[in-house]
Amino acid sequence: MTGDAVAAAARVLREACGPRAREAFPMAPLTTFRIGGPAALYLEAESDEDIAAAAASVAASGIPWTVIGKGSNLLVSDLGFPGLVLRLGRGFRWAARDGRRLRAGGSMPLPALAGVALVHGLTGLEFGVAIPASLGGAVRMNAGAHGSSMRDVVEVVEVFSMGAGRRQELAGVEAGFSYRRSALPAGSVVVGATLLLRPDDRAEIRARMDDIRAWRRRTQPLAEPNCGSVFKNPDGDHAARLVEAVGGKALAVGGAAVSKKHANFIVAHPGATSADVATLIRTLQRRVADRFGIELEPEVQFVGPIDDAGAEDRRQGRAAV
């Protein structure tokens, strides 16, 4: 992608959004991994009009675009992203209750939304209390835990179609939810959703949430930068078991290491690069494939050009692989 195309997109975006359209914007702080390079162009959208302006700038320039949420499932390339990165801002952070329904904006944090459900004595969203997602990212990934996922509670998804340049509503069943994925129409930015929950006793909801938080603290490396589960669980098995069985917990590449606490987590120590993480991911995939004939599929989403070849060369002899 040429700098000219990015500059052209930036001009279109600035006409509508002024200096809020940022070039060479650092993305590492926007992710839970805390690594990766800049977005060539970045906008925190506060309204549908902002997203429409983003769509117009992409259409006018041909640059690639992506949308991020709370960056809790992302590996951003060390080179960054060569186009427009869109993120929903505070204008999309709201929630409203209507009987058994909770309607909320796409940037509403899932744990906060679980808290709103608790306040109103509504059950069904306890599983989200410790998933550090935005509602938009959780819908897109069909985030889930403890036997439930967004599929079980989403009644309506509100998307802004970057292609059509306007908001559309989809029924939950039209979102194409399956294990850690959805099949939303191409170009969809999830700007909101309506969840259908059930009334329940507040004390019981709170107790279930407390249990979930305590379990997370016991089993996950929450104090170190990470992206949650690196791999999807293969049918009938657990990625963590497979990684552990091939000696994964002893592996590190540069500043990236498999967590000693949970083998399906990679933690980024100071100085870690995305190339380190990518090399470690591929090493684990190779080991598991060689030993078990199972191809581990990454759950983490790659943003920008992720290529571990350079890292492997640079670190020859240093990587514990």
Ligand X SMILES: Cc1cc2nc3c(=O)[nH]c(=O)nc-3n(C[C@H](O)[C@H](O)[C@H](O)COP(=O)(O)OP(=O)(O)OC[C@H]3O[C@@H](n4cnc5c(N)ncnc54)[C@H](O)[C@@H]3O)c2cc1C
Q: Provide the binding-site residues for ligand X, judged by CB under 6 A.
A: 32, 66-74, 88, 106, 131-134, 136-138, 140-141, 143-145, 180, 188-190, 220, 222, 226-228, 301
The residue assigned the tokens 């559309």 is 168
Residue 202, classified by CB atoms within 10 Å of its CB into exposed (0-12), middle (13-18) or buried (19+), is middle
Q: How far is the CB of 291 from ligand X (least distance, A)?
A: 26
User: Is 178 labeled as catalytic in the residue annotation?
Assistant: no
The stretches of 180-269 forming alpha helices (DSSP H) are 202-219, 239-245
Q: How far is the CB of 285 from ligand X (least distance, A)?
A: 19
Which residue number, 108 or 122, has a Cβ lying nearer to ligand X?
A: 108
Q: What's at 286, amino acid-wise?
A: R
Nearest CA-CA partner of 319 in 253, 244, 221: 253
User: Is 180 labeled as catalytic in the residue annotation?
Assistant: yes
Which residue number, 224 or 244, has a Cβ lying nearer to ligand X?
A: 224
212-237 burial: b if 16+ Cβ within 10 Å, else e: beeeeeeebbeebbbbbbbbbbbeee
Which residue number, 206 or 232, has a Cβ lying nearer to ligand X?
A: 232
Which residue number, 17 or 88, has a Cβ lying nearer to ligand X?
A: 88
Which residue number, 227 or 296, has a Cβ lying nearer to ligand X?
A: 227
Provide the 10 A C-beta neighbour count for residue 119.
11
The three-state secondary structure class of 165 is coil
Catalytic residue among 229, 274, 282, 287: 229
Strands 301-303 and 74-76: parallel
Catalytic residue among 34, 101, 167, 180: 180
- Torsion from C-alpha of 226, 229, 231, 235, nearest 10 degrees: 170
Q: How far is the CB of 3 from ligand X (least distance, A)?
A: 24
Q: How far is the CB of 50 from ligand X (least distance, A)?
A: 13
What is the enclosing helix (H) or strand (E) of 253?
strand 252-253
Q: How far is the CB of 290 from ligand X (least distance, A)?
A: 27
Which residue number, 83 or 132, has a Cβ lying nearer to ligand X?
A: 132
| Angle, alpha carbons 221-225-228 (nearest 5°) | 60
Q: How far is the CB of 252 from ligand X (least distance, A)?
A: 19
Catalytic residue among 44, 126, 158, 299: 299
The three-state secondary structure class of 241 is helix
Residues acting as catalytic residues: 180, 229, 299
